Structure 1
Amino acid sequence: MFMHNGHNILSLKDYLITLQGQEQAIAHCLEQAESCVGAWAAGNGIEWIILRSTLIYGFGRDKNIVEVARIIQRFGFFPFFGKWLGLLQPVHAHDVALACIAAMKSPNATNRAYNLSSGEVLT
């Protein structure tokens, strides 16, 4: 741990461990939320579909992908510090809309959760 102006600052390793713990906590909360949706819907006779995506981009309105693309165009690479722990599979907003329509039209798609991903994985 480092000190700066009298404040404790995490080392990069501690920071990455903290981020990993936060990601796991968020994933656990999302998992519980999905279970609650399923239980509530079943109790009320409602069919449900959950579509999951790690990252949605498109139409130039997303801040993260646009910024990453700008840095890559300028420097030819994008730096990542530490160990990358998860998969990042961006999906275009149009493809998400098509997946929503397809899921609503498919009678066998109900009461399930689906991961939406593109054919590319950012590494």
Structure 2
Amino acid sequence: MSNITSPKQVAASLTELWSPRVVAEVDDAYIKVAKVHGSLAWHSHENEDELFLILKGHLRIEMEEGAVELKEGEMFVVPKGVRHNPVAEQECHLMLIERKTTLHTGDVVTEKTRSLDEQLRPLERLVNPVD
């Protein structure tokens, strides 16, 4: 029996910014959600691609060759080795699909960097609204 999860609800329930939380795993990948606002950090993931799917809001992913602008429902894959910096001018909720070996801020460590243990912390149980 599998668990049904709403990435949108989980992301909306998060209280910390730039602190991805693992909501599922598929083979060698984690499915994560995050609530973000502001800028994360310029970094790269040398051996892993990173998929961003926007659940709510707008996200700009700055890269040395230019930037992509993503709105709700859109996704983009940052190829392995590409330096990038996610930026949200307003609060944005997103889903990430990354290999289990992917470090949060890749090759750099900042005050926003979260360890895998932090990302794997149990989520607060969501209460479904009564119709």
TM-score range, shorter chain: under 0.3
More strand per residue: 2
TM-score, normalised with respect to structure 1: 0.23
Greater helix fraction, Structure 1 or Structure 2: 1
Using the size of structure 2 for normalisation, the TM-score is 0.22
